[in-house]
């Protein structure tokens, strides 16, 4: 498995920091070099107004529309979101990308997120492990709202879909109550890839990510290299000297990582 | 009176296989177009090539139809989430505006402001937000427990939400924390993202109620509306422009764009035939369910579809719609099926069927009569009816000097004349 790329450093503060155009150049170079995926940070501004990146799910949609094979993980915190909205956004992004995307569940509880998201009233317990676990389980459930063959598309009979292949979630939990189903079709890779960091326990996560490695569940369990780059020049240098595999013709991120397709009843 | 040379604005309201409820069954439509990204790329490029000001997407955070039998006969249960779709389309277009709908009821103002500011940045200044509030119980059931919509009324929340978003978008406030403590939200953080070339995304609204009109007059750049006659459109237009003046703003800084669903062909007979072919594809059950929901009544159950519409008990807030439907069905001797198909087809929007010149005549009348500053076009079938509008109606509007030959600028604000 070739190394993957994690973007870091400031966005749009200096001419040589990240900008939309240099982000696109970098992911195209990473795609050419055969890298499996890029992690996009999803940071909001710090109290002093610095450090903000664009919304990673939208950045991923924009980059995916201009690439063919490389995958994208949006490192999005659950704090500013509701599970139904985030599940939709990523499911939709996954169809746009042809099954090349996933969610890296960021779990830090930063003061600037509380300051931005009505923290005092809405998140008295912060971004607790319990809230994150429930959030992730709802998102995963919503991603299974539709079977892959739910659309009949039968013009003659007038039946567009088969309601028996639609699954209502009916989740009732301490933090969320979500009926479902999701109004986005099943992912081209069955489920978008789900990644967690070393401190989050999630037995079903596809990837475990540490500051400099990623480990794929259920395969070799060997940690693979994650190249963290702070700016476009550093990325260009590493990609020029680093591993250079020829990219696959067309594959989902899940199949490319050797992740076994989820089975379901 | 319009100044000489004034141009109307056009939006391309994209929706899967088309705005007609049975569009997915049309032989020229790809039935699964609503889940194919390439389909939207094709439509976006066609609209940009033709000089449309913007692409528009509606939204619901849940199914549109709770009844599984009805839902299974329509194509609207699954689709794209609008912001991610527009971010993808931004990469395949260069000038056309990108407007997505998002509800103030089930989002956080900071996250929404940041998402649209991100789209604005990635698209080089082409983003717009269509603010809606949600009343649907289907949507509410997806946002329980922690709940976002606990305090106040929907519009109280929407007003506070819009004010926070506008402050976060303000180029002068981008780099510093705002300090907002209100009834529904507390936000003590700045966006931190650099502004796009248009400064801030365009704010669109579609609320037709009294409080909705006031909110639009105070904050919106564009208003979308549904009106079936010139008189209704004119009265809405005058009322909203009056409210804009009352709010201390220049009425030219708000563009009013009613929706219109055109069916156009080389001859009137051909246009009518195209329209009737679509109408015949609406399943009776679907038409009836939509009519019952539109009229807010259970009184149609079990009645013969070929018979006349019964007397309906008036329900709160629905009297004018009911009166309109009943009056028309009596006048034209329509059966329940006829009426149901009539309303199912265009979902309450203005529909014009005819030649390019017929359609241009009507758009020109609304524009020069100051009942509209432009139109949000709802093609009945995609891509067919968008292509027909582009190849037949747009050249006619250009010939009359009513629509641009080339884009005025690179941002949505520039093209809408809002800078």
B19: buried, middle or exposed (CB in 10 Å: 19+, 13-18, 0-12)? buried
Judge: B88–A62 Cβ closer than 8 Å, yes or no: yes
Beta-carbon separation of A82 and B148 below 8 A: yes
B340 and B360 inside one domain: no
Same domain, B260 and B324: no
Residue B2 placed within a domain: no
Last residue of a domain, one of B292, B322, B346: B346
> Domain range holding B22?
9-266+355-416
**B316: in domain:** yes
Q: Does B315 touch chain A (CB under 8 A)?
A: no
Please name the residue of chain A whose CA is at the shortest distance from the CA of residue B31.
A153
Q: Is residue B111 part of a domain?
A: yes
Please list the residues that pair with A225 across neighbouring strands: A213
Beta-strand ranges (E) seen in B189-254 are: 202-205, 222-225
The DSSP result for B59-80, as a single string, is --SS-S---HHHHTTSS-SS--
Phi, psi angle pair for A216, to nearest 5° = -95, 130
The nearest alpha carbon in chain A to B27 belongs to A155
Contacts of B74 in chain A (CB under 8 A): 160
Check whether residue B214 and residue B336 sit in a common domain.
Answer: no
Confidence of residue B319 (pLDDT cuts 50, 70, 90): low
Note whether residue B274 is domain-resident.
Answer: yes
Closest CB to B189 among A84, A112, A161: A112
For A160, the closest of B63, B74, B87 (CB atoms) is B74
pLDDT of residue B244: 97
Q: What is the interface size between A and B, counted as CB pairs within 8 Å?
A: 202
Domain edge (last residue) among B346, B370, B390: B346
Looking at the DSSP bridge assignments, the partners of residue B12 are: B55, B377
Give the residue from B416, B412, B10, B415 showing the smallest Cα distance to B200.
B412
Rounded to whole angstroms, the Cα distance separating A56 from A40 reads 6
Q: How many domains does chain B have?
A: 2
Residues of A in contact with B191 (CB under 8 A): 45, 52
Evaluate whether B45 touches B39 at the Cβ level (below 8 Å): no
The whole-number mean pLDDT for each consecutive block of 10 residues of chain A, a chain of 265 residues, reads: 94 94 97 96 89 97 97 93 96 98 87 76 71 94 98 96 96 94 97 91 88 86 93 94 68 90 48
- Residue B317: pLDDT band with limits 50, 70, 90: very low
* Cβ-nearest to B121 among A54, A161, A176: A54
Cβ contacts (< 8 Å) between A27 and chain B: which residues? none
In a domain, B240, yes or no: yes
Residue B1 belongs to a domain: no
- A64 contact residues in B (CB cutoff 8 A): 88
Question: Is B47 in the A-facing interface, judged by CB distances under 8 Å?
Answer: no
Helix (H) or strand (E) holding B259: strand B255-264
Residue of B nearest to A57 (CA): B84
Residue B300 pLDDT > 90: no
| Closest residue by Cα to residue A27 from B312, B91, B95, B26 | B91
Nearest chain A residue (CA) to B118: A54
What tokens does A77 get? 């915190």
Q: Are A56 and A18 in contact, with CB atoms under 8 Å apart? A: no
pLDDT digits 0-9 by tens, B149-165:
544 578 889 999 999 99
Percentage of residues in chain B with pLDDT exceeding 70? Answer: 95
Mean pLDDT of the residues in chain B: 91
| Chain A partners within 8 Å of B32 (Cβ) | 151, 153
CA atoms within 13 A on the CB side of B163: 18
Q: Give the whole-angstrom CA distance, residue B113 versus residue A197.
A: 28
pLDDT value for A212: 95
Question: Residue A37: helix, strand or coil by DSSP?
Answer: strand
CATH code assigned at B376: 3.20.20.30
Alpha helices in B296-371 (DSSP H): 319-332, 336-346, 356-368
CATH architecture of A4-126+185-256: Alpha-Beta Barrel (3.20)
Q: Is B186 inside a domain boundary?
A: yes
Q: Rounded to whole angstroms, how far apart are CA atoms B142 and A104? A: 23
Whether residue B212 sits in one domain with residue B138: yes
Asked if residue B305 and residue B188 are part of one domain, the reply reads no
Structure tokens at B390: 């582009």
Six token digits for residue B375: 């139109």
Q: What is the pLDDT of residue A265?
A: 37
Residue of B nearest to A61 (CA): B88
The token pair that represents B203 in the structure block? 């704010």
CB-based contact (8 Å) between B159 and chain A? no
CA–CA separation, B9 vs B373, rounded Å? 6
Looking at the fold, whether B97 and B122 belong to one and the same domain comes out as yes
Are B147 and B275 contained in the same domain? no
Please tell me whether residue B353 adopts helix, strand or coil conformation.
strand
Together in a domain, B116 and B158: yes
The total of other beta-carbon atoms located within 10 Å of residue B307's CB is: 10
Residues from chain B that touch A62, judged by Cβ atoms under 8 A, are 87-88, 90-91, 122
Chain A residues touching residue B137 (CB < 8 angstroms): none
Contact B85 A54 (CB under 8 A): no
Domain finish residue from B346, B364, B398: B346
Residue B79 lies in a domain: yes
Closest Cβ–Cβ partner in A93, A118, A175 for B108:
A118
Q: B38-68 pLDDT, tens per residue?
A: 999 999 999 999 999 999 999 999 998 888 8
* Confidence bin at B318 (pLDDT 50/70/90): very low
For chain A, say whether B146 makes contact (Cβ under 8 Å). yes
Cα atoms in the 13 Å half-sphere on the side-chain side of A128: 10
Domain identity same for B137 and B79 = yes
Q: Which of A79, A82, A111 to mutate to test the interface with B (most CBs of B within 10 A)?
A: A82
User: Which of the four pLDDT bands, split at 50, 70 and 90, describes residue B296?
Assistant: confident
Give the residue extent of every domain in chain A.
4-126+185-256
Indicate whether B381 and B341 sit together in one domain.
no
CA separation for the pair B168, B103 (Å, rounded): 17
Distance from CA of B38 to the nearest CA of A (A): 9
Residue B292 has pLDDT above 90, yes or no: no
Nearest residue, CB atoms, B119 vs list A58, A151, A176: A58
Q: How far is CA A234 from the centre of its chain?
A: 24
Determine the average pLDDT of the residues in B269-288: 93
Mutate to test the interface with A, among B42, B88, B100 (most CBs of A within 10 A): B88
Between positions 335 and 374 of B, the ones with CB within 8 A of A are none
Please state the rounded mean pLDDT for residues B208-220.
Answer: 91
Same domain, B382 and B336: no
Sign of CA dihedral A20, A25, A30, A36: positive
B142 interfacial to chain A (CB closer than 8 Å) = yes
Answer whether A158 sits within 8 Å of B73, measured CB to CB: yes
Same domain? B215 vs B166: yes
| Residue B177 to residue A115, Cβ atoms within 8 A | yes
Residue to substitute from B24, B68, B84, B150, interface A, most A β-carbons within 10 A: B84
Q: How far is CA A176 from CA A29, A84, A171, B139, in A?
A: 41, 10, 7, 14
Cross-strand pairs, A194: A103
Cβ–Cβ gap A59/B118 under 8 Å: yes
Which residue among B72, B176, B189 sits closest to A160, beta carbon to beta carbon? B72
Among B81, B51, B102, which Cα is nearest to B205's? Answer: B102
- Strand A193-197 relative to strand A176-178: parallel, antiparallel, unpaired? unpaired
CB B362 within 8 A of CB B262: no
Q: What is the pLDDT of residue B330?
A: 82
Rounded-to-integer distance, Cα A227 and Cα A221, Å: 18
Over residues B354-370, the pLDDT tens digits come to 999 999 999 999 999 99
């Amino acid at each position: 498995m070739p190394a993957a790329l994690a973007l870091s450093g400031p966005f749009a503060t200096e001419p040589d920091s990240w900008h939309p155009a240099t982000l696109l150049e970098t992911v195209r170079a990473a795609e050419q070099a055969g890298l499996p995926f890029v992690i996009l940070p999803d940071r909001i501004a710090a109290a002093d107004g610095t450090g903000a990146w664009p919304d990673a799910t939208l950045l991923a949609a924009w980059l995916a529309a201009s690439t063919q094979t490389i995958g994208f993980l949006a490192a999005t915190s659950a704090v500013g979101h509701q599970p139904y909205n985030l599940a939709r956004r990523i499911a939709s992004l996954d169809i746009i990308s042809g099954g090349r995307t996933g969610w890296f569940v960021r779990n830090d509880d930063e003061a600037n997120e509380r300051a931005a998201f009505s923290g005092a009233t809405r998140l008295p317990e912060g971004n607790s492990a319990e809230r994150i676990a429930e959030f992730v389980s709802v998102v995963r459930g919503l991603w299974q709202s539709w079977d892959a063959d739910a659309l009949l598309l039968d013009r003659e009979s007038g039946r567009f879909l088969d309601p028996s292949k639609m699954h209502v979630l009916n989740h009732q939990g301490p933090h969320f109550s979500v009926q479902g189903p999701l109004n986005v079709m099943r992912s081209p890779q069955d489920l978008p890839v789900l990644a967690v960091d070393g401190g989050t326990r999630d037995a079903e996560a596809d990837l475990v990510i540490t500051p400099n490695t990623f480990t794929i569940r259920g395969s070799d369990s060997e940690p693979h290299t994650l190249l963290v780059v702070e700016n476009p020049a550093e990325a260009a240098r590493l990609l020029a000297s680093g591993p250079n595999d020829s990219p696959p013709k067309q594959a989902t991120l899940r199949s490319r990582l050797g992740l076994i397709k989820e089975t379901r009843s | 009176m319009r100044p000489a040379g004034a141009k109307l604005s056009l939006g391309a309201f994209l929706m899967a296989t088309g705005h007609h409820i049975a569009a997915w069954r049309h032989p020229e439509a790809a039935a699964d177009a609503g889940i194919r990204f390439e389909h939207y790329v094709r439509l976006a490029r066609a609209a940009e090539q033709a000089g449309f000001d913007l692409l528009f997407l509606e939204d619901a955070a849940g199914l549109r139809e709770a009844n599984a039998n009805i839902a299974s006969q329509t194509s609207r249960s699954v689709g794209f989430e609008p912001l991610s779709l527009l971010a993808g389309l931004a990469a395949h277009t260069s000038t056309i505006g990108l407007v997505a709908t998002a509800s103030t009821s089930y989002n956080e103002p900071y996250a929404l402001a940041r998402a649209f500011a991100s789209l604005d940045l990635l698209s080089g200044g082409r983003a717009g937000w269509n603010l809606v509030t949600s009343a649907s119980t289907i949507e509410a059931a997806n946002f329980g427990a922690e709940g976002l919509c606990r305090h106040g009324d929907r519009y109280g929340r929407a007003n506070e939400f819009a004010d926070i978003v506008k402050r976060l978008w303000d180029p002068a406030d981008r780099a510093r924390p705002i300090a907002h403590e209100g009834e529904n939200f507390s936000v003590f953080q700045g966006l931190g993202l650099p502004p796009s070339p248009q400064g801030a995304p365009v704010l669109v609204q579609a609320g037709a109620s009294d409080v909705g009109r006031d909110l639009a007059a105070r904050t919106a750049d564009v208003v979308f509306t549904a009106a079936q006659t010139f008189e209704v459109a004119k009265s809405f237009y005058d009322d909203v422009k009056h409210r804009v003046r009352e709010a201390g703003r220049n009425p030219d800084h708000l563009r009013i764009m009613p929706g219109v669903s055109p069916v156009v062909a080389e001859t009137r007979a051909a246009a009518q035939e195209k329209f009737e072919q679509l109408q015949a594809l609406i399943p009776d059950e679907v038409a009836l369910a939509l009519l019952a929901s539109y009229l807010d009544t259970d009184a149609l159950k079990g009645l013969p579809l070929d018979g006349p519409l019964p007397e309906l008990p008036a329900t709160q807030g629905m009297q004018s719609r009911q009166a309109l439907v009943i009056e028309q069905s009596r006048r034209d001797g329509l059966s329940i099926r006829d009426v149901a198909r009539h309303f199912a087809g265009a979902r309450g929007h203005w529909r014009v069927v005819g030649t390019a010149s017929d359609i241009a005549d009507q758009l020109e009348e609304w524009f020069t009569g100051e009942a509209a500053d432009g139109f949000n076009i709802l093609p009945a079938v995609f891509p067919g009816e968008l292509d027909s509008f582009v190849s037949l109606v747009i050249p006619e509007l250009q010939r009359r000097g009513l629509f641009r030959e080339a884009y005025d600028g690179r941002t949505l604000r520039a093209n809408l004349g809002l800078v």
